[in-house]
Amino acid sequence: MEGYELIMKGKRTGVWLIGALGSISTTVITGAVSLRRKLIPPGGMVTSTEAFEGLGLVDTGDLVFGGCDVREGSLVEAARHVLRETSADPRILGEIEEDLREVEQNIRTGTTRNCGEAIERLACFPAAHRHVREEIEGIRECLRHFKSSHSLSELVVVNLASTEPPLALMDCHSDIDSFEAALDRSDVDAVRASTIYAYAAIQEGCPYINFTPSSGALLPAVIQLAERKGVPVMGNDGKTGETLVKSALAPMFVSRNLEVLSWQGFNILGNMDGRVLDHPDNQESKIKTKDRVLSKILGYTPHSRVRIDFVPSLDDQKTAWDFIHFRGFLGAKMSLQFIWQGYDSILAAPLVLDLVRLAEFAKSRGESGLMPHLASYFKAPVGVEEYSLHEQFRMLMKYVKRVKEE
């Protein structure tokens, strides 16, 4: 590896994962190091398809991982669990164990500032009540140290932490100056952990991806800061399962002029995400981002409800039943049901890697602020009004085509 590191020096890209010991992060890291060692086929990522060839995206194998978490835990044990649950070849673990231990060295303690009971219960020690500025500086220092000690040319920060309760928009969130003032007076009600991370990342010039529904991350003021600093950012809430299908299916009803009467969605899952979402405050954030999809695509708001229940035995295997009642010609009522059974982290991980590669790429091209061409990756793409998966995917393909033609 020595020689290899030498050659790559100065071009390596880092990935700082908030919630680094969680199920998605584990899968991201396990996948990336397995890809580096060619233990798994390069499938699953959109950026590994033909359309993206020739863009010069950073190699997945060249990513260097670090991050923070509020819990303690072992990446190796978490990887063992992921590999076993998904019936992957158990011999992979032996090959990547050392790589994982190296990454473990790069994981720091995170903050749970104003994150609500459900998340605070997970933290292995109580939230320190320092001045918000101090907390931000701590995180910036972490990022700088990770970057310099690994000679990283670029560092992308991805929020994969548990969902926070919604943060209502306040006056101080509307522009960066008011927001700076709020930070100066350590107004803790105006921020959540996700806000602090986003602010810190952007100040350090790191592209920031909010893969969670936490609304505290990409506040208008924060986006404004990203534009000023020349940093690309995007979110919210990775579109992995039920909502993915929803955004692919809902346009069908439009293109047949079939009126959706009701769309009921029942999600059951058993991972940490499920446990946190079992708390009504945190669930509210999630359901908000899930619910918007329908009315945006259909142009009206059918009767609709999304339920998320914690079912421990399911572990990471999210199961969703959606019942769609619709009305057609002569007023006749008909139905479509779907049952989705997918590993949440397995679905999320390649999206994270895609987003990291595309965010690094955007930064290198001098793009700043929101990246609307990444809308297809998110349940609630900030600044984008298009919710149909197909139109969103077309936006990505158009971006790629345009860049290639430049």
Binders in 36-55 for its own copies, by CB under 8 A: 40-41, 43-46, 48-49
Residues 56-85 that bind its own copies (CB under 8 A): 82-85
Give the residue with the Cβ less far from its own copies, 123 or 393.
393
Q: What is the rounded CA–CA span in Å between residue 304 and residue 295?
A: 10
Nearer to its own copies, 83 or 206 (CB): 83
Q: Token match 């979402």: residue?
A: 277
Query: Least distance from C-beta 92 to its own copies, angstroms?
Result: 8
257 binds its own copies (CB under 8 A): yes
Dist. CA 4–CA 6, nearest whole Å: 5
Closest approach of its own copies to the CB of residue 49, in Å: 6
Q: Is 393 in the site for its own copies (CB under 8 A)?
A: yes
Out of 1, 2, 3, 87, the only residue in the binding site for its own copies (CB under 8 A) is: 87
Contacts of 286 (CB under 8 A, 6+ apart): 163, 213, 237, 277, 308
DSSP secondary structure letter of residue 44: T
Residue 129 DSSP label = -
Stretch that binds its own copies, among 140-148, 154-162, 283-291, 299-307 (CB under 8 A): 299-307
Query: According to CB under 8 A, which residues from 88 to 127 bind its own copies?
Result: 88-90
**Residue 186 touching its own copies (CB under 8 A):** no
Side chain identity at 268, as an amino acid letter? I
Q: Which of residues 191-250 bind its own copies (CB under 8 A)?
A: 244-245, 248-249
Nearer to its own copies, 135 or 344 (CB): 344
Q: Among the candidate windows 12-20, 26-34, 60-68, 167-175, which touches its own copies by CB under 8 A?
A: 26-34
Tell me the C-alpha distance between 377 and 354, whole Å: 9
Apex 79 CA angle, 76 and 83, nearest 5: 140
Instruction: Quote the CA–CA distance of 29 and 15 in Å, as a whole number.
Output: 10
Tell me how far, at minimum, the Cβ of 401 lies from its own copies, in Å. Answer: 15
Residues 302-361 that bind its own copies (CB under 8 A): 303, 305, 307, 309, 311-314, 319, 321, 323, 325, 327-343, 346-347, 349-350
Question: Distance (Å, rounded) from C-alpha 145 to C-alpha 148?
Answer: 5
Dihedral angle of Cα 336, 341, 345, 346, to the nearest 10 degrees:
-100
The b/e string for 163-198 (b: 16+ C-beta within 10 A; e otherwise) is bbbbbeeeebbeebeebeebbeeeeeebbbbbbbbb
Q: Is 268 in the site for its own copies (CB under 8 A)?
A: yes
Judged by CB under 8 A, does residue 272 bind its own copies?
no
Tell me whether residue 233 or residue 324 sits nearer to its own copies (CB atom): 324
Q: Looking at beta carbons only, is 146 or 340 nearer to its own copies?
A: 340
- How would DSSP label each residue in 203-231? HTT--EEE-S--TTTT-HHHHHHHHHHT-
300 forms part of the interface with its own copies (CB under 8 A): no
Is residue 399 near its own copies by the rule CB under 8 A? no
Residue 62: CA atoms inside 13 Å, Cβ hemisphere, count?
A: 22
Rounded to a whole number of angstroms, the minimum distance from the CB of residue 173 to its own copies is: 33
Kindly state the number of chain residues that form the binding site for its own copies, as judged by CB under 8 A. Answer: 76
Q: Give the one residue of 11, 37, 144, 256 binding its own copies; rule: CB under 8 A.
A: 256
Tell the smallest beta-carbon distance from residue 160 to its own copies (Å).
15
Least separation in angstroms between CB 58 and its own copies: 18
Considering the rule CB under 8 A, would residue 138 count as an interface residue with its own copies?
A: no
Residues in contact with 38: Cβ distance below 8 Å, sequence separation at least 6, in sequence order: none
Tokens of 5: 């590191």
* Closest of 158, 195, 155, 166 to residue 19, by C-alpha: 158
